[in-house]
Amino acid sequence: MPTVTYVSPSGIARKIDVPSGMSIMQAALNHRVEGIPGECGGNCMCATCHVYVDSPLLHRIPPAQNNEKSMLSIAAESPTTNSRLSCQIKMTEELDGIVIRIPAKQR
């Protein structure tokens, strides 16, 4: 099963098996990863699942749609070029080993 490594704002890494098809946000909720509240339940309406994706695998994620870009613009912590909403990233075998960094604040 592919894995995702979630890195907390203080640098603590946690590697989790995530089934293909599940969003990175949902896997974080299922495993009680702190810092990704995902308040809208994955409907791209809250930006509380903002993450920074480590660049080596960023290009393998389909580009953000307009609604994701719009929500990122109101994220609590300033978005950067590797910012994504984790509810919009569906796990695939191609993303095995992806590392995402959790912002210090989501609200």
Please list every residue from 77 through 96 that binds ligand FES, using CB under 6 A: 85, 87
Quote the least distance from Cβ 101 to ligand FES, whole Å: 16
Amino acid at 83: S
Spatial separation of the C-alpha atoms in residues 6 and 18, rounded to whole Å = 12
Considering beta carbons, is residue 11 or 84 the nearer one to ligand FES? 84
Of 47, 51, 53, 64, which one interacts with ligand FES (CB under 6 A)?
A: 47
Q: What's CA 93's distance to the chain center, in Å?
A: 16
Spatial separation of the C-alpha atoms in residues 56 and 82, rounded to whole Å = 10
Considering beta carbons, is residue 11 or 104 the nearer one to ligand FES? 104
Residue 28 contacts residue 6 (beta carbons within 8 Å):
yes
Question: What is the binding site for ligand FES (CB under 6 A)?
Answer: 25, 38-40, 42, 44-49, 71, 85, 87
